[in-house]
Structure 1
Amino acid sequence: METYNQNLKFFIVDDDRFCTTVYEQYLKNNHYENITSFSNGEECLEELYQKPDIIFLDHNMEDLNGFEVLKKIKRYDPNIYVIMVSAQENIDTAVNALKYGAFDYLVKDARVCEKMIETVEKILKIKEEMSHSKLKGFRKFFSILF
């Protein structure tokens, strides 16, 4: 599991510089090193060619709101895990975030950083499961051939 951490590429998108700094530091304290921060959605969208695995996306930003950015990310690459982060604990916002393809919706509260790490761990489990099931599929495929 540890070796996979270093391979994960994170984008943090938030127009609040304080938030991005806190998130970045917390991720680094948990041995995630490959992190790029953006202060708006446009910058993030221009850099999607870097193929981030996980994007923490603020819902309420000045230029493009989080939903617009989320939709464009998902159109670009549906396999990127996007976690919407919002100051509002609003059920409609949460439901819409998931409807538009967010993996999770986190509220900016005292535990937001811990919740980010918990979500990353869930994603790592999913990625691990997927790679195991792919291997099983390959093995099955090859056992048929040979």
Structure 2
Amino acid sequence: MENQNQFKFFIVDDDTFCASMYQHDLKNMGYNDITYFSNGTDCLSNLNQNPDIIFLDHNMEDITGFEVLKKIKRYNPNIYVVMVSGQETIKTAVDALKYGAFDYIVKDNKVSDKMVLIIDKIILVKQELRKSNPNFIQRLLFFF
């Protein structure tokens, strides 16, 4: 199994308190390569740093999380983007997946548990991708 500490994370959230909580949680999981952006524009202009996983806030001032998500996916479809949102609406979750998010988290007191589960899921997907053919992802996404 690959050393999971090799993941490079971006946290994009205009709420610095939430962002520092996520950073703290990721560090507790053993991850150190974490870059924080307080807005979507800064995130987009740093995609050349090639993050593996981006935790992206849905509701930001400068440009919406969905706009950022679409641009990330155009830049590199292989980046795993996890939408994080304060509001729990099915439409937001469905739209996030439709625009290419890997998963969707609602901001609550269980965020760090959900982050662990999602990162584990990403590790599994990456392992499967290495073992199997590229069509695996298409088949996987077909179920959503």
TM-score (norm 1): 0.88
Matching residue's letter, 1:120:
I
* 1:62 corresponds to: 61
* 2:101 corresponds to: 102
Q: The residue matched to 1:56 in structure 2 has which SS?
A: strand
Determine the C-alpha separation between the residues in 2 that align with 1:50 and 1:98.
24
Determine the C-alpha separation between the residues in 1 that align with 2:129 and 2:35.
26
Determine the C-alpha separation between the residues in 2 that align with 1:58 and 1:70.
10
Is residue 2:113 matched to residue 1:78? no
* 1:45 corresponds to: 44
1:87-128 per-position Cα deviation (integer Å, ceiling 9, x unaligned): 000111111000000000110011011101110110001101
Q: The residue matched to 1:84 in structure 2 has which SS?
A: strand
Determine the C-alpha separation between the residues in 1 that align with 2:62 and 2:17.
18
* 2:131 corresponds to: 132
Dislocated runs of 4+, deviation >3 Å: none
Q: The residue matched to 2:132 in structure 1 has which SS?
A: helix
Determine the C-alpha separation between the residues in 2 that align with 1:46 and 1:34.
18
Determine the C-alpha separation between the residues in 2 that align with 1:35 and 1:87.
22
Shift, 1:77, TM fit: 0.3
Determine the C-alpha separation between the residues in 2 that align with 1:38 and 1:117.
21
Matching residue's letter, 2:23:
E
TM-score (norm 2): 0.90
Q: The residue matched to 1:92 in structure 2 has which SS?
A: helix
Determine the C-alpha separation between the residues in 1 that align with 2:6 and 2:109.
28
- Aligned residues: CA RMSD: 0.9
User: Any gaps of 5 or more consecutive residues in structure 2?
Assistant: 134-144
What percent identity do the matched residue pairs reach?
62
Shift, 1:133, TM fit: 2.2
Larger helix fraction of residues = 1
* 1:143 corresponds to: none
Determine the C-alpha separation between the residues in 2 that align with 1:33 and 1:5.
11
State the aligned residue count.
133
